[in-house]
A and B are shown apart, each in its own frame.
Chain A
Amino acid sequence: MKLRRTRLYVPGNNPHLVENVGLYEADCLILDLEDSVPIDQKFDARIMVKYALQHVDFGASEKWVRINSMDTPFWSKDLEEVIPYVQVVNVPKVESYEELDKLSEKMHEIEEKHGVEPRKIVPIIETLRGLVNAREIAKHERVVAMAWGGEDLTAELGIPKSKALILEHVRAEIVIAAKSQGKMALDTVYSNIRDEEGLFEYAKRAKYMGFDGVGVLHPNQIEIVHKAFKPDDKEIEDARKIVEAAEKAMQEGKGVIALNGRMIDKPVLERAKKILAFAEVD
């Protein structure tokens, strides 16, 4: 099972930061072409990212690129450079299913040209309209996970982000939209990179909200988040019993999985598998 507990944002036009990304064991690495790149460096950055995707050792991390949003003139140029080498396209400010279709079409065109398999999409929901359409957006076949960001959304409402009560609801909505389609839900970043305890609590909350991971801005945050997402011993033990029971049922050709006289439903088995994956045991 592919984990996406952490996705590390790395400024795409900073080669010195990019060259070591594989060392930090984030589940996903995002070479960023959007917010961390000033307008006059967009051109250089997408070429830099194209080279980085080919030459940097990403280790076991999934290769993502955050392209510029579809209301800019940059997004299709970004795709032209990175599609041949990327695994996941991270798209900011997605507002509708139709937008993703348009994006997907462009991706398809480039994939055909280079003879590469279809790339995945992780949309970022950042506006009220996007939020309203989140459940539709999550249905798109390329979407493997859904992320969100609160800056634009709180600006739309005219409230400061740090005090916005609505964000808890937004989080719930993202989880419901993504998970109801069997996709992952990813929480946003914890921006105080010096506050390790705060990050740990934040990641724990994200986990119990139903998220599969959070964004990280600094490599030092990765280990802490992974620790927060690690199930406790009791959870692991229970999960192991369920998975073992399932394996036994499989071997014995039984259609029903039973443990201690109780029937195990499919979602329960899936949760057990997920817990074991998060515990990093097979």
Chain B
Amino acid sequence: MVEAGTHEKGDAWVLIEPSERREVIVKSKLERLYGNAIRETIESMTSNIKAKIVVEDYGALDWVLRARVESALRKYRGEQQ
């Protein structure tokens, strides 16, 4: 299991853990306004991994979300910190 990001406003927190099946869970206060956009970003960056992906969004801009997803993904792939 790896995580990236923080729970601060304007940020996003991402968790990836191994799983039998691919599963994406998004929690965001902006679900009604950006739920689709957030899922699209996650999908475009992680579609090739079979894992459980949890994203908690606190009003992150898209590039911030991307940075956090990339961070989590690289840790998940074993990159040394």
Contacts and interface: CB of A to CB of B under 8 A. Distances in A.
Contacts of A54: 63
A32 to B, nearest CB: 16
Contact of B8 (A14, A19, A40, A51): A14
Contact of A15 (B4, B61, B70, B81): B61
Contacts of A13: 6
B11 A16 contact: yes
Contact of B67 (A16, A40, A42, A47): A47
B38 to A, nearest CB: 15
Contacts of B10: 15-16, 19
- Chain B, interface size category, equals 20 to 34
Contacts of B8: 14, 16
Q: Which of B4, B6, B63, B70 has the most CB of A within 10 A?
A: B63
A55 to B, nearest CB: 4
Given A14-B8, A16-B10, A51 B64 contact: yes
Interface residues of A, number: 16
Given A16-B9, A19-B10, A47 B63 contact: no
Interface in A1-29: 13-16, 19
B70 A47 contact: yes
B74 interface: yes
Interface string B50-81: 00000000001101101110110011000101
Contacts of B71: 43-44, 47-48
B61 A43 contact: no
A52 interface: yes
Given A15-B10, A16-B10, A16-B11, A44 B5 contact: yes
A51 B81 contact: no
Contacts of B81: 40, 42-43
B24 to A, nearest CB: 20
A51 B11 contact: no
Contacts of A50: 67
B15 to A, nearest CB: 13
A15 B75 CA distance: 20
Contacts of B67: 15, 44, 47-48, 50-52
A214 to B, nearest CB: 28
B42 to A, nearest CB: 15
Nearest to B75: A43
Contacts of A16: 8-11
9 contacts: A15-B61, A16-B8, A16-B11, A19-B61, A43-B75, A48-B64, A52-B63, A54-B63, A55-B63
Give 7 closest A-B pairs by Cβ, nearest first.
A16-B10, A55-B63, A51-B67, A43-B81, A15-B64, A47-B71, A48-B67
